[in-house]
A and B are shown apart, each in its own frame.
Chain A
Amino acid sequence: MRRRSAAGARTVYKLCSLLLQYPDDELRAAAGELREAVRGLPRSRAAQALDEFMEWWTACDPLALEEHYVQSFDLDKRSGLYLTFYAKGDKRERGMALVRLKQMYRACGLPLEGTELPDYLPVMLEFAAAAPEGRGELVLHEHRAALELVRLSLHDHQDPYARLLDAVCLTLGEASATDLASVRRLIGDGPPQELVGLEPFAPPDVMPELEARR
C-alpha cells in the first residue's frame, strides 16, 4: 500500500513538473501521453486535481495558453515559480540558498544541468520524482510555505494552474502549523527584507525608543 502510493506521488510530482513548464509545442504534443499518465494515477484528490487541470489545459487554444502562462508565472511576483525568493527574498542569503540546493541535487546523484535555477519548482518536482527515497520530498517540505503562497495566489485569480499546486500540496500532506504561520506572514509582509546596515546608529540618548525595542 505504502509503496504504491509512493510511486503515485512520484508520478504526481513528475507530471506537475512537466505541466508547470512553459506549454510549448513539444509539451502540448505530448498531451495524450500526459493524459494517459494522469488517468493511470491511483484515485486520490491529487489525481482529481490533475485530471481537472488536464481537461482545461488540453482544451485551451495554444496561443491563449501561452499568454496565460506568461501572465501567471513570468510577470507576477506573487506566483513566480522560483521558490527560494519567498523564503529569502532579495537578500544575500538567497544566493547561498540556491547554492545549497544545487549541491544537494549533486550529492543525490542528480546534478543540475543547463541554465535553469535549482529553486525553479519544476526542477524541485523533477528532483522529488527521481531522488532517493526520503530525499526528494525534503526540498518541497522545506519550501512548503512558498508552495502554499503560490497556490493561494493562483486560487485568488481563479487560475486553473492552482490545481497543479493543489495536487502537489495534497500529495505532500497537511502543512505544519509553522508553515501555515509562514504563509500568513508572507501574505502580510512579503518576502523577508535585508536589514543589515539599517539599524539606527544615532547616540542612544537621542533614540529613546531603541531601548524599548530591545
Chain B
Amino acid sequence: MADRASPLLEAHRFLRRGPVSEEGWSQLVAKDRDWERSYRGRWAHDKVVRSTHGVNCTGSCSWKVYVKDGLITWESQAVDYPSTGPDMPEYEPRGCPRGASFSWYTYSPLRLKYPYVRGSLLAMFREARRRLGDPVDAWAEIVDDPERSRLYRRQRGKGGFVRASWDEVVEIVAAAHVHTIKRHGPDRCVGFTPIPAMSMASYAAGTRFLSLIGGVILSFYDWYADLPPSSPQVFGDQTDVPESGDWFNSGYLIIWGTNIPTTRTPDAHFMVEARYRGQKVVVVSPDYAEHTKFADHWLAGAPGSDGAMAMAMGHVILKEFYVDREVPYFRDYARRFTDLPMLVTLREREDGAHVPDRLLRASDIGEDEENAEWKPVLIDERTGKPAVPNGSVGHRYGEPGRWNLKLDGVEPLLTVFDRAEERVAVDLPRFDEGERERGAAMRRGVPAVRVGGKLVTTVLDLLLAQYGVARDGLPGEWPADYDDPAPATPAWQEAISGVDRHLVARVGREFARNAERTQGRSMIAMGAGTNHWFHSDETYRTFLALVMLCGCEGVNGGGWAHYVGQEKVRPLAGWQTVAFALDWVRPPRHQSGTPFFYLASGQWRYEKVQPADVASALGTGVFDGMHIADVNALGARLGWLPSFPSFDRSTLDLVDEAREKGVEVSDHVVSELRDGKLGFACEDPDAPDNHPKVMTVWRSNLLGSSGKGHEYFLKHMLGTTENAVRAEETPPELRPRDVKWRDASPDGKLDLLTTVDFRMTSNALFSDVVLPAATWYEKYDLSSTDLHPFVHTFNQAVPPPWENKTDWETFKRVAERFSELAEKHLGKRSDVIAAPLLHDSADEIAQPLGEVRDWRAGECEPIPGKTMPKLIVVERDYPAVADKWKALGPLVEQLGTQVKGANWVADEEVEHLRAQNGAVRGGAADGRPSLARVEEACEAILTLSGTTNGRLATEGFRSLERSCGVPLADLSGTREADRISFQDAQIQPRTVITSPEWSGIEAHGRRYAPFTINVEREKPWHTLSGRMQFYLDHEWMLELGEGLPVYRPPLHYRAIFGDQRAGADEGRTELTLNYLTPHSKWSIHSEYQDNLHMLTLFRGGGMLWVSREDAEALDIHDNDWVEAYNRNGVIACRATVTHRVPQGTCMMYHAKDRHLNVPLTELQGKRGGTDNSATRIVMKPTHFIGGYAQLSFGFNYYGPTGSQRDEIVVLRKREAEVVFQ
C-alpha cells in the first residue's frame, strides 16, 4: 500500500489524458462501460431449467432452476401448470421454502463428492485382488475369512472412509454380487429404494439391475407402515385417493391424523379456499398441531382412540340415517356398491350363541356354476329369494362379461329384519375391556333367515349389532341411548377418547347430513398419525365405514383421502415394465420389506407379542403356540406372501439338480420340500447361508429414517459393536414352534452394504461403500404424485459435479462390470422363483372360503400355485445383463402388459421407441430400442403407460370392457391420439389421461377422485364381492375378531413388557410415556435438514416434546437434557416442554440423523440413538393372509406393516454431564 502513489496527487483536475485526433476536434476517452455489465448481467442466466425435488414430500412441484456461468444460483416456482378450469383454484404456484432452499445443497460443504470405501476393506480387497488376480476370488476370500470379515464389519459407523476411483468401487460392488450369486444364489442380493413416483427412472435404475440378476427388491410402503392395509382389505386397491384439488369440491372435511399445512404445504390452499366456499373443517388430533387452527371443531382425542370416535360417529349415522329414517341415496349406494346386503352365515357356538362366520356363496345354495365358491349371495327384495349378483371375483375369472355391478333388476335386501325367521343372539368382540389384547365378547342379536339350509343374516344387520344400534325385539344387550356407555355410543367413546360425546355425535351427524344433501361430498383426510398403530387397519376401517355408509366413495369431493407418501406413479404400466425388467424376464423377486427386515435385523429374537395374544376372546386358538415368525413361515409355504431368500439352497443349484435327475424343476422342489430335504430360508433365518449377503440402498436413508428397530439393525445386520439393544431375548416358552432357534445369534449378516446418495446420511455412515449421487438438478427423471394430476420432469441444469453420477449411470456401470465378471464366474444359469399368489391375477382364487390348509400338516397336497408358491423357472444369461439393462426387451410385444386386470400389447409403441431412442446394434439386445440413456428410459416409461399414452389407455379399457361387459373405452377415447412424450413434459407439466391403471375419471377437467369409474360405470372393485367390503370373512380375520370394523386400543405395552425403568434403584424419578414419532415439516420430507436453518428450528438436533405436566413431575425445564429409553435403545437429547402435547405422551419428530447434536448416553455411555432407537416393529398375523381375493399379495399393495406407534419409553432428566464423542 505504502509504495502506491496517492490518488490525489495522480489525478488531474483540469486536464484530460489520452490521445487527441490529428485534426484536433475529437478525443478518445479510455473509460469504457464495462462496469455496467454487472448490472446488466445480474438477472441474466446461461439457462433456466425445469426440475423438481424427489423427496417424497408428495408436493411434486415443478421448479425453475437458474444457471449462471455454469453454476446453479437459485430456483423459483414454475407457474405454468395446466389450468384446472373455471370455478376452481389453480395448482400454480406450487413449492415451499424447503424446495426453495434446495439449490444450496448442490454446493454444500457436506455434500458427497467422491466414492468412498472403508479403508480397511479397501486395503484387504486391493491386497487380495493383486495376489489372486481376480476381484470375485478376492471378495470370496475376504468374506470367507472370519477374521478379516469381522474386522471391517466392526468398523461400520466408525468412519475410516477413503476416496476410491469409480472403477474400483464398482468392481467391489459387482464382485460381491457375482460371488453371492455363485455361492448362495441370486436371492441373497437385495436392494432397497422407496417411492418410485418421486424419481421413477432413478428407482428403476437399480431395480432393473436386480430384476435381471434375480435379486430381491424390497417393498417400502408396508415397511414404513404408511400403507393402510384397510385399503386392500376394503377396496382391493392399494391407496387410491383424490388429488388435492378435489378437497375443494368437498362440503365437509374431517382431517384425521394428517397435518395438512405442515406436510402437504403446496396443497393446503385448497382446504383454506374451500372454507371460503362454505366447507366445514373438523380436526381430530391429540396435539395442538398446525392444522388445528383451521378447524371449526377440534376433537382432541387421546392417542390411539381414533377408532372409538369413528365408531361412535358410525353409531349415530346408522341410528339416524339407516334405522330411524331411510335415506334413499344412502340405501341405493349401499345396495349397489357395498357388501352390506351380502349374506353371512352364523355359526353356533357351544353355549348356543352364534358368531358370524363367512359370506354365503353360490356353492352353498347348490349353484354349480364356475367359481361358485367365489360368488357371494344376497336376497332379492322383490322375490325374497337368494340371488348371486354379478361382479364378484368369481365372475372376474369366469365367463367374460359378467364382472360388473349391474343388478339386472335384482333389488338387494339390506336387512332381513322384516323377514326374519329367527332372532339370533350373536357374540361379537369388543376390545375396550377384558383380558389385555384379546378383549371380551358382548352379546347382541341379529335377525336371521335360512338359505340353503344355513342360518344367515346380512352384513348390515351384523354391522348394526357391532355398532350397538338397537332394533326392537332383537336378543342381547343394547345401549339404551347415546348416553349409555356401552359400545359404540358417543358416551362410550367419551370414556376412551376424552372427547365430548355431544361433539362426536354432532360431527357424525353433520358428516352424514352433508353427504345426504350433496350426494356424498363428505371427505376424511387421513395419514400417518392414525396409520402407524398396530391396529391401524381396524382404525381405518372404522373411518372407511363412515364414507361408505354415507355414499361418499367414488364421488368427487367425497371419500377417503389418505396421504402418507408420494405413492402414485401415474405412468404405472411403463414404469413397472422398465423398473422390474418385465421386458426381459418375469416375474421379479418382490419381497415384503417388513418380514424381511424383521428376520434380517434379528428383531424376531426379542419378540414378546404372540399372535395368539392379539386374537379375539371369541377366537378358536388358531395361533396357539405360534411365534409371528411361524406365521411368516406358514405364509411363505402356502404361497401367501413372498419369502426371499427362498430356500436353504441356491435356486440356481436346485434347477441343476432337477435337470441332472431329469425331472421337472417344480416336481423336484416339491418332492425335496415334502421329504424335508429342502427347507425355506425363513424357517431357519439365522443359518449362515440363509440370510441376505449384499444390500444396496439408494434414494433412501434406511438406517437414519425408516429403520424401525435401529439398534437391532446395527447389531444383527451390520455387526457394529455400538448398538444399544437392551432387550432380553424371547424366553424359551415363547420361541417359535416351527422356525429354528439358534442360540448363537449371528451379528453382521451383511457382507456388503452400499449406499448411493448425495448426503452422508446415517445409512451412508454405516455402509461399506458410498457412491456419490447426482442431485435433483443434475439428472433427467420423471415425477408424479397423488396430490396433483400432472406428470413432469427433472432436468439436468448442470452435469453432476465432482465425481457424482446419476443413479442411471451408477447402475449402468455396475451392470457392465457385473457382466464382465459374470463371463468367467457365472455364465448362463437357470433360476427357480418361488412366487406368491398374486392379487389381480387368477392366483387370487386359489384358496377358497378363507380356510387355511397347510400342506406340511397334511391338510392338503402341496400344489404349486394353489396351496403353495408358484415355482417358475427363468433363464439368466449373466454376461448379458448389461446389454439387456440398456435395451427394451421383447416381452413387451410377446407377453403384453398387464396392469390391475387390464391388458394390452404395446407393439406400435415399441416401433416408436425404436425410432425415437434408436436401436441397439450387436450384443444380446441387438435391434431393440435403446434405454442406455436415462432420457430414453423416461421416454419408454411414458410411451408404455396408459396415463401418458391414450392409445394404450383405450386398449386397456377395451380389455376391461370384455371382462366387465360395460362401456369404458370412451373414458379415454377423447384423448386416444394423445401421447405425452418426455419432451412434452419437459416443456410443461402435463395432465395425465384417464387410464385403467387408476380408478378415477379425469376427462373434461374433472378432478381425480378414486373409484368414480366403479360408481359411474358399474365396474367392480377388486374384492371378493366386487363391492367395497365392510365384512372380511377369512378364517384369520375372524380369529382376530376383525370380521367387521371395530375399535382396538393400542397394544398394552406396559403390561407386556412390564416396568422398564432402570433408575428406580438409584431413586431417580422416571415416567413411562407413550412414544410418538410424527413427521415434521423440516426433516424427512425435506432432504436438507442438516443445514443451519433447519437445525436452528429444531434447536440443533433431535428434541423430545414433553407435556407441561410430565415435565413438572420430572423437574424438566424447557431445553433441559433428557434421556428416553426402553428395551430397544436409548435416546439422549433436549426436551421441548409444551402445552401442545397431552400428558402421558411424548413425541420425537421422525428421522433425525444421529450425528446431529447427540451426546453419549447416561445409561450406557454410548452415542445416543435416533427416534427409531426406541422402536421395534410388531407385525399383525392378518397381514400375512394371501391367496384369497383382495387379501392376496401385491408389491407395496398388501403385506405386514412395520408398525411401531404403540411403543412406550421411560423418560428422565439427565443428571450426568453432557459429553460428546
Contacts and interface: CB of A to CB of B under 8 A. Distances in A.
A160 interface: no
A90 B74 contact: no
Contact of B1096 (A71, A98, A193): A193
A63 B119 contact: yes
A95 B71 contact: yes
Interface in B142-195: 159-163
B162 A67 contact: yes
Contacts of B123: 63
B760 to A, nearest CB: 6
B160 to A, nearest CB: 5
Given A63-B123, A66-B119, A74-B113, A22 B163 contact: yes
Interface string B116-143: 1001001100000000000000000000
Given A99-B71, A103-B69, A193-B1093, A75 B119 contact: no
Contacts of A24: 163
Interface stretch (B99-107, B509-517, B700-708): B99-107
Q: Chain A interface: which size bin?
A: 20 to 34
Contacts of B1091: 90
B162 A66 contact: yes
B97 A94 contact: no
Contacts of A191: 1092
B110 A77 contact: yes
Contact of A70 (B68, B71, B116): B116
B107 A82 contact: yes
Given A74-B113, A77-B110, A194-B101, A89 B1092 contact: yes
B579 interface: no
Nearest to A107: B34
B801 A115 contact: yes
B69 A194 contact: no
Interface in A48-100: 63-64, 66-67, 70-71, 74-75, 77, 80, 82, 85, 89-92, 94-96, 98-99
Contact of B70 (A75, A102, A193): A102
Interface centre among B68, B69, B74, B802 (most CB of A within 10 A): B69
A122 to B, nearest CB: 13
A191 B123 CA distance: 37
A117 interface: yes
A197 interface: yes
A67 B159 contact: yes
A90 B101 contact: yes
B492 interface: no
Contacts of B109: 77, 80, 82, 85
B107 A63 contact: no
Nearest to A116: B802
Contacts of B116: 70
A132 interface: no
Nearest to A96: B73
Interface string A26-48: 00000000000000000000000
Contact of A94 (B104, B110, B162, B799): B104
Contacts of B620: none
Contact of B103 (A22, A66, A74, A95): A95
Given A70-B161, A77-B109, A193-B1092, A102 B802 contact: no
Contact of A95 (B73, B799, B1092): B73
A74 to B, nearest CB: 7
Contact of B161 (A67, A77, A80, A91): A67
A95 B72 contact: yes
B162 A70 contact: yes
B1069 interface: no
A103 B74 CA distance: 18
Nearest to B4: A134
Nearest to A115: B801
A135 B119 CA distance: 40
Nearest to B97: A197
A24 B110 CA distance: 20
B796 to A, nearest CB: 14
A71 B799 CA distance: 26
Given A190-B1092, A191-B1092, A193-B1096, A90 B163 contact: no
A89 B72 CA distance: 15
Interface string A13-24: 000000000101
A67 B119 contact: yes
Given A66-B163, A70-B161, A95 B801 contact: no
B64 to A, nearest CB: 14
A180 to B, nearest CB: 19
B114 interface: yes
Contacts of B71: 95, 98-99, 102, 117
A75 B72 contact: no
Contact of A64 (B110, B119, B1092): B119
Nearest to A86: B109
B593 to A, nearest CB: 29
A201 to B, nearest CB: 14
A6 B266 CA distance: 57
B108 interface: yes
Contacts of B103: 92, 95
Contacts of B162: 63, 66-67, 70
A114 B162 CA distance: 22
A194 B107 contact: no
Contacts of B1092: 89-90, 190-191, 193
Nearest to A195: B1093
Interface centre among A66, A89, A90 (most CB of B within 10 A): A90
Contacts of A98: 71, 73, 107
Contacts of B110: 75, 77, 80
A66 B122 CA distance: 12
A77 B107 CA distance: 12
A82 B104 CA distance: 13
Contact of A75 (B159, B801, B802): B159
Nearest to B110: A77
Nearest to B160: A67
A80 B113 CA distance: 12
B163 A70 contact: yes
A138 to B, nearest CB: 13
Contacts of B72: 95
Interface centre among A67, A91, A95 (most CB of B within 10 A): A95
B114 A74 contact: yes
Contacts of A115: 799, 801-802
Contacts of A94: 104, 107
Contacts of A64: 119
Interface string B401-430: 000000000000000000000000000000
Contacts of A96: 68, 73
Contacts of B114: 22, 74
A71 B69 CA distance: 31
Nearest to B1093: A193
A24 B103 CA distance: 30
Contacts of A82: 107, 109
Contacts of A67: 119, 159-162
A95 B75 CA distance: 11
Given A63-B162, A99-B71, A197-B97, 16 more contacts: A64-B119, A67-B159, A70-B116, A74-B114, A74-B163, A85-B108, A90-B104, A90-B1093, A92-B73, A92-B74, A95-B103, A99-B68, A103-B69, A116-B802, A117-B71, A194-B101
23 contacts: A22-B163, A66-B162, A67-B119, A67-B161, A70-B116, A70-B161, A70-B163, A71-B161, A74-B113, A75-B159, A82-B109, A90-B101, A90-B1093, A92-B73, A92-B104, A95-B68, A95-B74, A95-B103, A98-B71, A103-B69, A115-B799, A117-B71, A191-B1092
Interface of A: 22, 24, 63-64, 66-67, 70-71, 74-75, 77, 80, 82, 85, 89-92, 94-96, 98-99, 102-103, 115-117, 190-191, 193-194, 197
In the A-B complex, the 10 residue pairs with the smallest Cβ-Cβ separation, listed nearest first, are: A95-B73, A80-B109, A66-B162, A90-B104, A90-B1091, A115-B801, A67-B119, A99-B69, A63-B119, A92-B74
